[in-house]
Amino acid sequence: MGFYGDHVLPRCVNLACASKIAHEQRARVCAGLAGEVVEIGFGSGHNVAHYPRAVTSVSAVEPADVAWELAAKRVRATATPVRRAGLDGQSLPFEDDRFDAALSTWTMCTIPDLRAALAELRRVLKPGGELHFVEHGLAPDGKVQHWQHRLNPIQQRVFGGCHLDRPIVDSIRAAGFEVREVDEYYERLSPKFLGANALGVAVSP
Ligand SMILES: C[S@@+](CC[C@H](N)C(=O)[O-])C[C@H]1O[C@@H](n2cnc3c(N)ncnc32)[C@H](O)[C@@H]1O
């Protein structure tokens, strides 16, 4: 990826993802997780502090070495066993039906082939397994969508392939998940083109 993508971007993401508002959403999305969990786009481990006690292990999937290094302190501080178990959400190195739950926070915008990643999550989740997600994506309002489409090329270049205008909830449904609950809202203090969030739980049938 080069110096910017390998070293600068993960540090910027680490800072950008540390806000109080983000942590409020992390607490909500992690609630109810239990058993063996796979977390795609683990980043620098900002969700670790929010894992419920019922989580017995977390298999972290994260391509960026620097992000994983930045996560070390958080991983050491939790009683939940967390290991870096994979590098790419599009191709998970796990057997079928392995996990009780999956977690993705602001990652589905960035994975190049989202359809492949969602198919992989379906494959590795047990029947009835839950996907907990909070993601930004295509806004409900036409005017905001217009700006999302216009700004998308810049966003992708500056933020390591991040798409502003992916229809995340539709993509989750198209992958065969049943969306059991979803809250769609504009994030406080964020520009609408960037903060059209969907937070919810989908079930792999
Ligand atoms: C905006 S960051 C979010 C990080 C973290 N989930 C959080 O909430 O702080 C997106 C993350 O997706 C990761 N990512 C990019 N491509 C990926 C892929 N193919 N598979 C898994 N993760 C990927 C990036 O390295 C980055 O850590």
Amino acid at 108: M
pLDDT value of residue 12: 82
CA 72 to chain centre: 19
197 lines ligand 1 (CB under 6 A): no
CB 88 within 8 A of CB 95: no
Of 196, 198, 30, 3, the closest CA to residue 101 belongs to 30
Would you call 56 helix, strand, or coil by DSSP?
Answer: strand
- The owner of tokens 């996560």 is 71
Say whether pLDDT at 1 is over 70.
no
Compute, in angstroms, the gap from residue 135 CA to the centroid of ligand 1.
11
110 lines ligand 1 (CB under 6 A): yes
Q: Please, which residues bridge with residue 55 across strands?
A: 35
Mean of the per-residue pLDDT values of the chain: 96
Compute, in angstroms, the gap from residue 95 CA to the centroid of ligand 1.
22
Q: What band does 153 get if pLDDT is binned at 50, 70 and 90?
A: very high
11, 62, 74: residue to mutate for ligand 1 pocket, most atoms within 8 A of CB:
62
Say how many C-beta atoms besides its own lie within 10 A of residue 49's C-beta: 14
64-121 pLDDT, tens digit per residue, is: 999 999 999 999 999 999 999 999 999 999 999 999 999 999 999 999 999 999 999 9
Q: Which two tokens stand for residue 182?
A: 């979803």
Output the residue whose Cα is nearest ligand 1's atom 22.
41
- The C-alpha atoms of residue 150 and residue 129 are separated, in whole angstroms, by 37
Q: Which two tokens stand for residue 172?
A: 């989750």
Q: Report the atom number in ligand 1 closest to the C-alpha of 44.
A: 9
Strand pairing report for 125-136 and 99-105: parallel
32-75 pLDDT, tens digit per residue, is: 999 999 999 999 999 999 999 999 999 999 999 999 999 999 99
